[in-house]
Structure 1
């Protein structure tokens, strides 16, 4: 009887390919000049997920009204924001790109991209394609998911890769509003200010959205009532931007030891006359002044890098509004920027995605 032929064991070797990490923030003009600001505004506001009205109306609104008249005003504000390193949002973005690459090691290729303007998402993805990467992780820098931010990044990435002959495995980080390290980062920053001053009230100001975008995202058509529906975070409202914002506040308040009645969650940066999610930050500030509140510590936990909406809107304009309402001491808590704990957060998100 012949002896059976023994087959060698099958050994599966991990693919030698690297993983591409595309970190994506919203964007910034290339310079604070009026032409560059106008170019940025046109690209940003023509996104159908940002201003969700029919194309013809959106085109007329942006090109006929907003871009021509708003660009000169916005350019002046961008000049206030600009530093010797340029736009803070892009400056910190490149530092994070470098530090994240260092933290992840040689098995990864990290590229910074902006949803609008440069460096573009397409440039980053084309570099991954050139390198023949078989896996890509896309990390939108928006803690709370919204169609106008994270959703727009998803759409842009998929619109680019849909024409590739070989589409690699692509994973998206959907949100990280409750990630322990993300929360810890803002807690540490807040504690630094709380240790040196006894604040009467705490504001958690998030970027606003039109109410219609929130209701459109409620696939149940039952949960979103703009009443107490965001008082808790659960399976039925887990995709709601507003609910995620309130959940971020609850986690921060708990770890900072802020008592009930001493803090407010509110929303800034509204545009146009349609209803946006409430309460509005400027209205809250006026009410605090009317109540005699003299000191406020302000957080902006929907931004991971300082930008126009944090440094200028919250740090300068709201400070002036608070003081005109009778307040005495207003302090902005800076964003995570290039904080080491932000790099740790990203590493954890990427490796457990």
Structure 2
């Protein structure tokens, strides 16, 4: 795939806009990335990201003090160093693959659609993309958050930002949101194909499915009935009463992948990474799971990160390198990360299907 510039080249004048009436705008949204791996840019990104009340769901004043007085100043230098490890000649992998997918989806959807990439935090911004749609006179918009499982801190935050922008418009367009896509067969098949590639090369003792974590309080908040969520066996199946639970959706994603990969019961684990702060996060924790597996004599692990559709810090560094190091320190011998979908044809087909059928 040819490299694609990180600065989106989209420009449209009034003459072009006339010919775009009646077309559908497609907004592809991923989480975000700093504009560069420099400390100031990383600090700027962290401040915007962590000041989102859906990410750190505490009152504004203590959140402001925590983010701007502690987390951003002290975490930015360390995070900047880590970002430099994943940065490529094309810049951030997450943004680079986003632009590649944008181009591929546009090609498959054709001239009846206008496809734009946006990031929830930093650039290219949701505001910029939606303003372009407004200028083009598009009155039908499909928003596709790049999060397989719904969570308030990810998909919910994208919804909120889109509606914050649209509420200022005099003419509010028809908007359709993709809520989740963990059940989409092509999404599942994309990870299955990647996993089979490694499974054909060697036999693994165990298969680990690591998802981004969330504070337990956020999961409980999602149980509006206050009768379902126990953060335990209630996630053993995805049902009408727990369908909006992020943890339950992650376990369901694992079950679907395991079934298609033919992994025997007892040889796989679903767990959660990226804890922050002292409050309890959803369990089991990935770090604890790795230590437990090594103590049980597991020597080889194939690790999946099915909460991410593009490689980023949480996949390449956290799962691919830090957990590998931890596993080997505990006596493990072989750790292999299954890469994200990135710009795979099946992922592009998934997005196209979501746009057409939402």
Q: Could you state the TM-score of these two structures normalised by the residue count of structure 2? A: 0.94
Q: Which runs of 5+ in 2 are unaligned?
A: 1-19
Give the SS at the match of 1:331. strand
Does residue 293 (structure 1) correspond to residue 298 (structure 2)? The answer is yes
Residue 168 of structure 1 aligns with which residue?
A: 173
| Structure 1 residue 142 corresponds to structure 2 residue 147 | yes
Q: Tell which structure's C-alpha radius of gyration is larger.
A: 1
**SS class of match (1:229):** helix
**Mind listing any 5+ residue stretches in structure 1 that lack a counterpart?**
1-14
SS of the equivalent of 1:67 reads helix
Q: Which residue is equivalent to 1:323?
A: 328
Q: Secondary structure at the match of 1:22?
A: strand
Partner of 2:285: 280
Deviation at 1:178, TM superposition (A): 1.2
Deviation of 1:220 after TM superposition, in Å, equals: 1.4
The yes-or-no answer on 1:307 pairing with 2:312 is yes
| Residue 84 of structure 1, CA deviation | 1.0
SS of the equivalent of 1:345 reads helix
2:9 is aligned to none
Which runs of 4 or more aligned residues in structure 1 lie more than 2 Å from their structure 2 counterparts after TM superposition? none
User: 1:39-54 alignment to 2 at 5 Å?
Assistant: 39-54=44-59
State the Cα deviation string for residues 140-171 of structure 1 (Å, max 9, x = none).
00000000000000000000010100011000
RMSD of aligned C-alpha atoms?
A: 0.8
Per-residue deviation at 1:16?
Answer: 5.5
Where 2:233 maps in the other structure, the secondary structure is coil
Partner of 2:220: 215
**Structure 1 match to 2:235:** 230
Give me the whole-angstrom Cα distance separating, in 1, the residues matched to 2:291 and 2:149. 26
Residue equivalent to 1:195: 200
Of the candidates 122, 128, 136, which is equivalent to residue 123 of structure 1? 128
Instruction: Give the aligned length.
Output: 339
Q: TM-score, normalization: structure 1? A: 0.95
Q: Within the alignment, does 1:113 sit opposite 2:118 as a pair?
A: yes
Paired residues of 2:302 and 2:335 also in contact (CA < 8 A): yes
Structure 1 residue 18 and structure 2 residue 23: aligned?
yes
Deviation at 1:225, TM superposition (A): 0.4
* CA–CA separation in structure 2 for the residues paired with 1:243 and 1:311: 25
Secondary structure of the residue aligned to 1:128 is: helix
How far apart are the structure 2 equivalents of 1:21 and 1:223?
35
**Are 1:77 and 2:73 matched, yes or no?**
no
